[in-house]
Amino acid sequence: MSDLVTYTSDGELAVITINNPPVNALSPAVPEGIAASIERANADPSINGIVLIGGGRTFIAGADIKEFGKVVAGEKEEGSLLPLLLALEDSAKPVVAALHGSAFGGGLEIAMACHYRVADKGAQVGQPEVKLGIIPGAAGTQRLPRLAGVEKAVEMCVSGAPVKAAEALAAGIVDQLITGDLLAGALAFLREKIAAGATPPKTRERHDKLGDEATNAAIFAAAREKAKKTARGLHAPFAAIDAVEAATKLPFDEGCQRERELFRQCLFSDQAKALMHVFFAEREVAKIPGLSPEAKPVAIQQAAIIGAGTMGGGIAMNFANAGVPVLLKETTQEALDRGLATITKNYANTVKKGRLGEEAMQQRLALITPTLSYDGFENADVIIEAVFENMALKKDIFTELDNRAKAGALLASNTSSLNLDEIAATTSRPASVIGLHFFSPANVMRLLEIVRGKATSDETIVSAFALAKLMKKVGVLVGNCHGFVGNRMFFQYMREAYFLVEEGAAVEAVDKALTNFGMAMGLLAVDDMAGIDVGVKVRQENAKNEPAGRRQPLVADKLYALGRYGQKTGAGWYKYDENRRAIPDAEVAALIEQTATEAGIQRREISAEEIVERCVYALINEGAKILEEGFALRAGDIDIVYLNGYGFAAWRGGPMWYADTVGVKNVYDRVCEFHAEHGAWWEPAPLLKRLAETGGTFAAWDKAKTE
């Protein structure tokens, strides 16, 4: 018997325990071990019932995702849990699954094939497969509607969201909640059932919750309508609905076959590959090669922030949300009051939406101490500067911090564009200085670029990652180049959108092509949201470091001159109604046309395909330069930046993964064409060229680097 599954007995009941830490994932030996244990229990005349339970902190949190990857790569035959599930369900001796922690994916599928399910109050169940671009593949879509009803099953399989034990009980997924010791409760539950002479119920033979055709048709139609909006571009949610529909229309075995077909279509799709890449890239991103294993993060018990503006306020909320007291310093009482009013308003909105209790809001606010002085900064474990983007000001502040902060405290700047090394050099401890580049709104956006300066120590880096984790952010280590990773790529990306409108694409056509591709927003709508004034200033700054003589966008400056700054002035690339809804503006179209004509730009029809290529390949080309120059560790890290900070669709895998999907050679060829047509901005990245010429991929490049 496998080490991952142990068999013991408690009197006349067998106890099968899964021990595959950390999450009891269904690695190959686990199903085998369970099957063997079921057989053993059935063969033993002294046993008359079976408890299946997880060792450690959880039941079975799901499939071993690496195994999916191997199947997709053709390295491994596809396994199936179905025979095990039938063996469980057909066991002559009743089986109860005792759930704690998570029973997700294959874990829930196993539990549903047992005759009974009991759960600890803190347990959660779910079919999260859609998040990886697939659907349940072991009868989850067939058994779940039989237990929970069609509507609940659709909701769970389409959203992938976990369901808490109490809700699972109400839905009929779980038969009883256990307070106190789970195993003892499960044993007692089973003894009761056996004593009552109950026939072990088989989920697959139940039909009472499968509903009638008319009601079901309405449920499926509504679910498909909803998924069109909430799961734009994704295939798996629709496949999940189809599979549950099959459960209502076909006998169980045929339903399982249909589910299998749909599962396989999803598993071998580009979307699933991309989403699995994202899953692994998120886990890789915190692994920093070369760091000393001795480097330990500082314990963060007190924080301090300088500047209570847009960013400082949001960052303070992150600390408060994590339960860490934070000092928030400003220069004037007025600025301080304004900053706190914004924080309070943000929390109040969350309370209004029912996502935070009033008491929790007060507790969090109480953790934020407004101040006009540096008193107390000497106790801070981490200090984050978020004042105006001005080098002289930041240098003054870091000089002050150097005098005040305790040894070992993390000294961070939230600068977007200033040279971190220059800031660090004003201190006597550049090793403790790091960039923490939050994204706006800082209390919402998940991305945190962790900027490593040339003197930043390993301790400082691990502390920054620990901080990211504390704040539930995804930290990505980047190098100290202009714009770091995200914005440096964004400059190229946005410029192409500007050029495209000047060359003949309508503003809304550019945005629509990008949202159809999967971006959360179109670039020109983003520009209106971020502020055209901000963009113009950034470009003026950038221009100081750019080679002279390159084509510059024209229309954005004109919008700026007209005071059309975007949403905040009610007009930018679009005009906005009172609900901030973007409306195409004929005046802007005329301005663009006139500007282009005056500049002698040839206007033409531009296809959605070209719009996407111009914008996305600009990202890829710059990403390849960043990679080779060492400002990002891995192509996967760049993808994580774009997915979490810039609204790139997860099912596209991020820009660099997308390049692999299209074929690096195809991307490179187009980049060369754009270079010939549009000039120096499109200078192909040497790495892109090399990969194209050698048949390489960014994924393989990453792998070679980490091996």
Ligand X SMILES: NC(=O)c1ccc[n+]([C@@H]2O[C@H](COP(=O)([O-])OP(=O)(O)OC[C@H]3O[C@@H](n4cnc5c(N)ncnc54)[C@H](O)[C@@H]3O)[C@@H](O)[C@H]2O)c1
Applying CB under 6 A, the residues found at the interface with ligand X are: 306-312, 329-331, 335, 386-389, 393, 397, 414-416, 437-440
Distance in Å, CB of 446 to ligand X, minimum = 14
* Strand ranges for 47-183 from DSSP E: 49-54, 95-99, 102-104, 116-120, 124-126, 163-164, 176-178
CA distances, 463 to each of 37, 186, 484, 697, 701 (Å): 45, 43, 20, 33, 28
Distance in Å, CB of 390 to ligand X, minimum = 8
Those residues whose C-beta lies under 8 Å from the C-beta of residue 21, and which sit 6 or more positions away, are: 55, 56
Rounding to the nearest 10 degrees, give the CA dihedral for residues 644, 647, 648, 650. 60
Which is the catalytic residue, given 89, 109, 496, 508? 109
- Tokens 């984790």 correspond to 469
Q: Are 474 and 484 in contact (CB under 8 A)?
A: no
Distance in Å, CB of 346 to ligand X, minimum = 14
Distance CA 665, CA 687 (A): 11
Distance CA 53, CA 95 (A): 11
Distance in Å, CB of 261 to ligand X, minimum = 47
Which is the catalytic residue, given 129, 330, 508, 622? 129
- CB nearer to ligand X: pick between 169 and 423: 423
Q: Are 133 and 256 in contact (CB under 8 A)?
A: no
- CB nearer to ligand X: pick between 34 and 474: 474
Distance in Å, CB of 479 to ligand X, minimum = 17
Q: Are 8 and 47 in contact (CB under 8 A)?
A: no
Q: How many CB atoms lie within 10 A of CB 205?
A: 9
109 belongs to the catalytic site:
yes
Tell me which residue has its CB nearest to ligand X. Answer: 309
Structure token digits, residue 74: 């053709």
Structure token digits, residue 625: 């330069």
- CB nearer to ligand X: pick between 172 and 309: 309
Structure token digits, residue 671: 């980049």
Closest by Cα among 214, 380, 219 to 303: 380
- CB nearer to ligand X: pick between 457 and 487: 487
Burial class (CB in 10 A: 0-12, 13-18, 19+), 392: exposed
Distance in Å, CB of 372 to ligand X, minimum = 8
- CB nearer to ligand X: pick between 219 and 386: 386
Q: Are 482 and 545 in contact (CB under 8 A)?
A: yes
Listed in sequence order, the DSSP H helices in 322-445 are 333-352, 358-366, 391-404, 420-424
192: DSSP letter = H
Distance in Å, CB of 380 to ligand X, minimum = 14
- CB nearer to ligand X: pick between 265 and 346: 346
- CB nearer to ligand X: pick between 298 and 412: 412
Distance in Å, CB of 529 to ligand X, minimum = 11
129 belongs to the catalytic site:
yes
SS3 120: strand
- CB nearer to ligand X: pick between 389 and 557: 389
Residues identified as active-site = 109, 129
